[in-house]
Amino acid sequence: MKRDPSARAVEAASAGAPVESVLSHVADRLATIRRERRLSLDQLARRAEVSKGMLVLIEQRKANPSIAVLVKIANALRASVAELVDVGGESPARIVPVDRHRTLWTGPRGGSATLLVGSNGPDMLELWHWVLRPGERYDAPAHTLGTKELIHVTAGTLAVEVSGVTHRIDAGASLVALTDRTHAYACVGKKATTFTMVVGEWHSGRGD
């Protein structure tokens, strides 16, 4: 899923690395939220199971964290990925203009995953827009227990693999999936696949 120039070196697992324009937002928000939570880098590293060196490099804008690493850090901060990339919000209503949308993954053939808007954590909702080009596949780690995803395919055909079972969704159809287990998305056929995805993750048990 990635543009991974080796000069950016310490990309976390290379899968799902944000494009460079997002890195400054992640660096600033990570440092701010970490200090608000009164967590040292050592403490956050232990909670997130991410190396202290990686956290230092992220805050210094020298490393591209993957989506999976961003999720780990957000969970450890009891925040959301939307907060880390500055598209979250706690007010009763908040408009997120198009120039605030954050592309957090780019595929080897031009696909993308863009976080459009999300709520603040720890309980959170996220709205994503995905494009997968023919031959592209995104393998995702298991999310927090109870996480669910709602997917609506707007063009092409999408294959969603959950716990080793593949579900094929054609344009116009939708899927609900429990994604607290390994899962993956892939483009089927010779046409690009586009889909909208809502992710619901609850830490207080309200989503169980």
Q: Could you tell me the fold of the domain covering 123-201?
A: Jelly Rolls (2.60.120)
Q: How far apart are CA 32 and CA 75, in angstroms?
A: 15
Per-residue pLDDT of 106-117, as tens digits, reads 999 999 999 999
pTM above 0.85, yes or no: no
> Nearest 5°: phi and psi at 75?
-60, -40
Average pLDDT, the chain: 86
* Beta-carbon contacts of residue 91 (< 8 Å; ≥ 6 apart): none
DSSP E strand stretches across 107-164: 112-118, 124-132, 137-140, 148-155, 157-162
The residue ranges of every structural domain in the chain are 6-84, 123-201
Across the range 24-49, mean pLDDT stands at 94
> Nearest 5°: phi and psi at 203?
-105, -10
- 169, β-bridge pairs: 158
Per-residue pLDDT of 67-126, as tens digits, reads 989 999 999 999 999 999 987 666 788 888 898 899 999 999 999 999 999 998 888 899
Superfamily of segment(s) 6-84: lambda repressor-like DNA-binding domains (1.10.260.40)
Return the CA Rg of the chain: 16
Q: What SS3 state is found at 28?
A: helix
Q: Which of 17, 196, 186 is nearest to 103 (CA)?
A: 17
Per-residue pLDDT of 161-207, as tens digits, reads 999 999 999 999 999 999 999 999 999 999 999 999 999 998 765 44
